[in-house]
Amino acid sequence: MIKKTAVISAVAFLILAGAVYFSFKAFLFASPENCKTCHFIEPFYKKWETSTHSMVTCLKCHDYKPINAVAGQMRFLVGTYNPRPMTRVPDKNCLQGGCHDRRLIEAKATFTRWGIELDHKTHFEEMRRGIKLHCRSCHSDIVQGEHVRVSKNVCFLCHFMGITEGQALTGCPSCHTAPKEDIVFQGKPLSHKKVLASGLTCDRCHINVIEGTGEVAKEKCFFCHIERTEKYDDVEFVHQKHVAEKQLDCLFCHQRIRHGHIEMAYKIPEL
């Protein structure tokens, strides 16, 4: 009798807990305004309000399964709940019907502000420098006043870190096109067309185009892992755990790399 009562009680509890969870998820959590009650997300919320995703609710993108709800409540009860936002957005949520489901079919997109063409398919389906990327690898939480926009700083990190000075992983023409018309440099006309036809590379004139190395100081690990750096040199393992699984922003660990017209050669080549 006691065993039967315990089973019935457990089943009743699970049914009640499930009903509460789905009710909260369908009604209470359907409004992003309510998420601020427990989570410290005011900056993210404000950027979301003015972003192109402002008509999309939090749970349309963010993972919130029963296990998340139960674990969160247990941590709250024992005093270990962390209200700061460290959450995941599975790629399948970005690629669901009616959202960005054609992104890999219509793979190429142009950054309107910079005129740079990006092929989503090669970044998404292939390993890049031994790392499996996901949507949030490039689309960060807060960028240039918007929520979930592309951060150029992530591009610079991947394309320049560990590459010979003045060079880029995929070469300058993968992002930049040379001016079609002559420009004036140091009072003299310069034809990029002639320069490139002569076999000269971009770094002949554009030198020191980056600042910073993108390295990760070992001390950075201590923010999350106290005195645990035994896997520091295992790049593949570290990126699998932190990028592919945890979706941490690259700049959470890596030093920023700045890219632009930092220094030009004093003398232009004679053609």
Q: pLDDT, tens digit, for every residue of 49-97?
A: 888 888 888 888 887 777 777 777 777 777 776 666 677 888 888 888 8
pLDDT value for 254: 92
pLDDT value for 271: 63
| Whole-structure pTM value | 0.71
User: Quick check: 211 pLDDT over 70?
Assistant: yes
Rounded CA-CA distance 23/18 in Å is: 8
User: Quick check: 102 pLDDT over 70?
Assistant: yes
pLDDT value for 132: 81
Domain range summary for the chain, segments of one domain joined by +: 2-83, 108-264
What would the pLDDT profile of 141-166 be if each residue is shown by its tens digit?
A: 665 556 777 778 888 888 888 887 66
Q: Which residues contact 148 (CB under 8 A, 6 or more apart)?
A: 51, 53, 61, 136, 139, 140, 141
**Residue 190 backbone dihedrals phi, psi, to 5 degrees:** -135, 125
